[in-house]
């Protein structure tokens, strides 16, 4: 299993409860596909470097997890179709 880190930005108008539900959805997806979440960080609301979809700020989150390459592809696919996600990036951490 490889170590990955996903950084994603959620829509800034989401309330705490809805944002938590989205994060739990991603954690459940990782666990259901044989991955292991090692760390979840909430960075909070921050200003974006440039405007994305007419938004100037977003809710930043980081999830670190261990999984196979297929899970990383599936997580990428799900994040692309999740309306609350403004941007995301998944990177493999060095061993």
pLDDT score of 23: 94
- In the chain, the domains with their CATH numbers are 2-92 (3.30.70.60)
The segments of the chain whose pLDDT lies below 50 read none
pLDDT score of 3: 95
- CA dist 3 and 82 (Å) reads 23
Look-up: residue for tokens 């179709």?
81
pLDDT score of 84: 94
DSSP state of 84: T
Joined together, the tokens standing for residue 69 give 């390459």
- CA dist 53 and 29 (Å) reads 26
pLDDT score of 95: 67
For 61-81, how does the pLDDT look when each residue is reduced to its tens digit (9 = 90+)? 999 999 998 999 999 999 999
Parallel/antiparallel/unpaired status of strands 85-92 and 2-10: antiparallel
Whether pTM > 0.75 for this model: the answer is yes
């Amino acid at each position: 299993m490889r170590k990955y880190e996903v950084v994603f930005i959620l829509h800034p108008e989401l309330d705490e409860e809805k944002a938590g539900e989205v994060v739990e959805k991603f954690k459940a997806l990782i666990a259901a596909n044989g991955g292991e979440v090692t760390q979840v960080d909430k960075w909070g609301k921050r200003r974006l470097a440039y405007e994305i979809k007419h938004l100037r700020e977003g809710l930043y989150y980081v999830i670190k997890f261990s999984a196979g390459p297929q899970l990383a592809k599936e997580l990428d696919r799900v994040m692309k179709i999740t309306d609350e996600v403004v941007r995301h990036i998944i990177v493999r951490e060095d061993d």
